[in-house]
Amino acid sequence: MAKKRRSTQKSKKKKRNNSKHIVRNTITVIVIIVIIVVLLLYLRNNTSPLPLRSNNTPAYTSSAVEEHIADLDMARTPQGRRSQIIEHKGYTVSYNSQWRLPNWVAYELTAEETRGDAERSNRFLVDPKVEGVCPRHNDYTRSGYDRGHMAPAADMTWDKQAMRESFYMSNICPQVHGLNAGAWKQLENKIRIWARRDSAIIVVSGPIVKKSHPTIGRNRVAVPDYFYKIVASPYVNQPRGIAFIFKNEVAKEPLYTYTVTIDSVEALTGIDFLYNLPDSLENYIEQNIDLQSWQL
């Protein structure tokens, strides 16, 4: 009988131990599941789908820019350079009366604006807001240069007035045809794709003019040696920026071969872009390029 009781007690003890193991294992599984769920939620909310260029760069999210920031489509022209700020419906221009060219032309392009149906104007006009001499379309006639848009007409199809004003001569520079119809046009097409993808982007374009430069036409329009274009996407989950510099010559190479940081363009031109952004975000956008995020 004693032996039977001991056997029964061992059996009960074994059952209790098995029950404890089951409880422990169940708790462990639940804890692991909770940890995995929390981790997945964290990664979904805090990880950008776009890779950073360097592991040392900070990860900015859309919370860095909580709402639309006014006047991002502006830039600061360096002191001592002639500049008349003119606002048109589709873009803002800093006009240089010495060069008869823009220092820069800036605008915001939204996804909605890329879907307009305003017909191309093709009438190059004197800008009525220019103080002093404004070039005329015939300054370019038989010059060997295209009338190159800084803010392209194809970005102004959302409004008839914006389309017409894109043909103001304050928005035009002498461009070699092989650039205007080559990589420059290819980049303009890319920018519309980026605007549709990112909902809104900032674009700034302009010439780089040497101290000693040729001119064309009766109004002595300066011929740029280079052109730049910067693009910033500050409202996406991983804000980003990129810039391009093209020599004023035939350009048929892949777009990525012309890429530079926005900081590089600022150093070359003396122009301060994106100054209305928070400083840390401005520095990040201007110092980094992630070609993969721009699909280049």
- Catalytic residue numbers, as ranges: 149
* Residue 100 DSSP label: T
Using DSSP's 3-state secondary structure scheme, residue 228 falls into strand
Cα 104 to Cα 110: distance, rounded to the nearest angstrom? 20
**Do residues 234 and 262 touch, judged by C-beta distance below 8 A?**
no
- Residue 269 is inside which H or E element, if any? helix 262-269
Cα 137 to Cα 150: distance, rounded to the nearest angstrom? 15
Per-state percent for the chain, helix, strand, coil, to nearest 5 = 35, 20, 40
**Cα-atom radius of gyration of the chain, to the nearest Å?**
29
Q: Which residues pair with 260 in a beta bridge?
A: 243
Q: Which residues pair with 101 in a beta bridge?
A: 96
Amino acid symbol at 189: N
